Chains A and B, each alone.
Chain A
Amino acid sequence: MITVAGITKQYGKRTAVDDLTFDVTAGRVTGFVGPNGAGKSTTMRMMVGLTRPDQGEVRYDGIAYTDLRHPARVVGSVLDARCMHPGRTARHHLRATAAVSGLATNRADAVLAEVGLETAANQRAGGFSLGMRQRLALAGALLGEPEVLLLDEPSNGLDPDGIRWLRNYLSGFADQGGTVFVSSHLISELAMFVDDLVVVGAGKLLAAESLEAITARSEVSVTAVTPHADELAAQLAAHGLASAIVGDRLNIPGTTTTTVSQIAFDHGIRLVELIETSKSLEDSLLDMTRASAEFASA
């Protein structure tokens, strides 16, 4: 498990990360979301010792990253897929990475096969597409067969097949007991495979809970179409449910189709259509982070 305790980082007068505390549980995929400038990348760099926090600490099962005996065998990280020399081949890049990590250099071919780049092993990284660079960077993170994967925007540049492969790989990694901590702007994509979410805005923690809990809080509403709209509205009001009538359509927030259909049935009101809608996870998260977005579109 990763324990992030009160980490803070300031650059001059700007506080990039402000007293951030959360846990990342093993056996689960934890998404890390927030608007641009929220401090996600700074946080991830602090988690692998590249940036020193001004306060607080990050521990992997109680051990600071800098105290791990074999960091590459505990944590595999991809913070920037462009981190490779363009003149070096994929195989040489991984061999150099394996060597500096204290791993066998012949692991390079194994991980290249794992990410589907075996045919590009002798190709220089400068000629790689963004998606190929993402895969190569992931291969580098997998060299040490780590227990933890820390990935910053790993699906950038991947085609749909690649995104699906990544999603399945990370889910499978967590199913086998591994810890996955992945940041992404693609909230809808994250929602397909994360178990927990950590939401940050302006360097501060906004939420750290299960996807289920965040989704459950999303506002649900029901749209009912009936030729007896006024009668249904009156009965709903008698049950404490407010509604807005537009012609023969009622919009009833904060309830379910089961509740509305039961009320209609009990009072003999015919329903033509009954639809339940909920605010998307993306909308919920955008609402959560709107106030702290540094760069927001109009």
Chain B
Amino acid sequence: MTITGSPTITPSASTTSLASTRTSHELTVVPGTRTTRDDLRAVPTVLKSEWIKLSTVRANKAILGLTVAINGFAAWAVATSVKDEVPTVSKVFVFPALLTAVLAAVAGILLFTTEAQHGTLATSLTAQPSRWIVAASKMAVTVGVGLVLGTAGMASAAAGALVGGLEIGDTSAAAPTALYALLFISLSALIGLGIGMTARHSAAAISGLLVWWFVGENLIRAFAPATVSRFLPFDAGYRLLGVGSDFDTPEILAVALPRPSLAVVFAVYAAVGITMGTVLLYRRDTN
């Protein structure tokens, strides 16, 4: 067989028929070697595969349902229980976004770890030996999942607050708050993906994430100076919501970063997580 500079293709009879009438398995295609163009052409098909995988597993639908339910209920609960001040929908709709971010991070972890644990990652990597395509597609889908969860969650929270009897209120800050919330949730999902790509084990990744998020960071915040703790990843992410915390001391508030800076801090952590995960995807053997 001769490999030419301009590969030619000899179509076999079976390529136009669903029911294979192929009469020969001999090499009829001069394959040539893979190019960057081939890799780029593969991205839409791999994205399609990721969508099929995402939409055909009940667990993902359950996470979406849980997000809607938690956000709606939490906002309704705030609307019906808070009496010392009068909240509005434009403020309450983002209160449960922290829970949505946790669910998004878990979803990001599961997007990778379920594949690794069920062996379908190997199928993807044999189909696409250029592993960056698989990594990039997973990142794109993960961001999409974050955006969907964030949007559905905030919409549900707004609805819950309305049902709870709250007024809409001043919406001038709602749009930027919503965008920052979406950023927080999507980057949380990406961080989850990076953790999943590193750990390759669902339970280890999820428990590690939650322990760091709700125990590790609180401990560091309690003992480290505010100038250091303001760079903690999920602390920075949470402050994107513009919601105050009971743990905010005057010292913390004095050195608090503005939202754009918080976004950069959180994004850097997401980038580090994804980069580490992608490097390990290349370096590690896959069973």
Residues of A at the B interface (CB closer than 8 Å) are 26-27, 45, 48-52, 61-63, 65-75, 77, 79-80, 82-89, 92, 95-97, 99-102, 105-107, 109-110, 113-114, 140, 145-147, 173, 176-179
* Known A85-B53, A100-B123, A177-B26; 18 more pairs at CB < 8 Å: A49-B129, A50-B122, A50-B287, A61-B1, A63-B31, A71-B126, A71-B129, A75-B126, A82-B119, A84-B118, A84-B119, A85-B114, A85-B120, A102-B45, A107-B18, A110-B20, A147-B27, A177-B24
- Tell me the minimal C-beta distance from B90 to chain A in angstroms: 39
- Tell me the minimal C-beta distance from A17 to chain B in angstroms: 12
- Tell me the minimal C-beta distance from A239 to chain B in angstroms: 50
Cβ of B40 within 8 Å of any chain A Cβ, yes or no, is no
Contact with B31, one of A68, A86, A88, A102 (Cβ below 8 angstroms): A68
- Tell me the minimal C-beta distance from A258 to chain B in angstroms: 41
Contact A145 B18 (CB under 8 A): no
Closest to B15 in A: A145
Residues of B within 8 A of A87 (CB): 57-59
Contact B33 A69 (CB under 8 A): yes
Report the bound CA distance from A194 to B124 in whole Å: 30
Report the bound CA distance from A106 to B19 in whole Å: 11
Chain B residues 188-226 with CB under 8 Å of chain A are none
Contact A66 B127 (CB under 8 A): no
Contact B18 A50 (CB under 8 A): no
Most A CB contacts (10 A, CB to CB) among B14, B26, B27 go to B27
Contact B119 A67 (CB under 8 A): no
Residues of A within 8 A of B118 (CB): 82-86
Closest to A111 in B: B20
The 5 listed contacts between A and B (C-beta, < 8 Å) are A62-B1, A63-B3, A69-B35, A96-B56, A177-B27
Cβ of B175 within 8 Å of any chain A Cβ, yes or no, is no
Contact A102 B127 (CB under 8 A): yes
Cβ of B46 within 8 Å of any chain A Cβ, yes or no, is yes
Contact A99 B286 (CB under 8 A): no
Contact B31 A110 (CB under 8 A): no
Closest to B57 in A: A87
Residues of B within 8 A of A178 (CB): 25-26
Contact with A50, one of B15, B48, B125 (Cβ below 8 angstroms): B125
Most A CB contacts (10 A, CB to CB) among B20, B31, B38, B119 go to B31
Contact B56 A79 (CB under 8 A): no
Residues of A within 8 A of B3 (CB): 62-63
Residues of B within 8 A of A173 (CB): 25
Report the bound CA distance from A96 to B46 in whole Å: 9
Report the bound CA distance from A27 to B24 in whole Å: 10
Cβ of B83 within 8 Å of any chain A Cβ, yes or no, is no
Contact B26 A100 (CB under 8 A): no
Residues of A within 8 A of B120 (CB): 83-85, 96
- Tell me the minimal C-beta distance from B94 to chain A in angstroms: 32
Q: A67-B34, A71-B129 are in contact. Are A80 and B119 (CB under 8 A)?
A: yes
Q: Which 3 A-B pairs have the closest CB atoms?
A: A178-B25, A83-B119, A177-B26
Cβ of B128 within 8 Å of any chain A Cβ, yes or no, is yes
Contact B31 A106 (CB under 8 A): no
Closest to A89 in B: B56
Could you mark each residue 5-39 of chain B with 1 if its beta carbon is under 8 Å from any beta carbon of chain A, else 0?
00100001011001110111111010111110010
Contact B127 A80 (CB under 8 A): no
Q: A66-B129, A92-B56, A177-B26 are in contact. Are A110 and B18 (CB under 8 A)?
A: yes
Cβ of B261 within 8 Å of any chain A Cβ, yes or no, is no
Cβ of B285 within 8 Å of any chain A Cβ, yes or no, is yes
Most B CB contacts (10 A, CB to CB) among A49, A70, A100, A102 go to A100
Contact B26 A26 (CB under 8 A): yes
Could you mark each residue 243-287 of chain B with 1 if its beta carbon is under 8 Å from any beta carbon of chain A, else 0?
000000000000000000000000000000000000000000111
Cβ of B42 within 8 Å of any chain A Cβ, yes or no, is yes
Q: A72-B127, A102-B127 are in contact. Are A66 and B34 (CB under 8 A)?
A: yes
Contact A100 B49 (CB under 8 A): yes
Report the bound CA distance from A77 to B286 in whole Å: 14
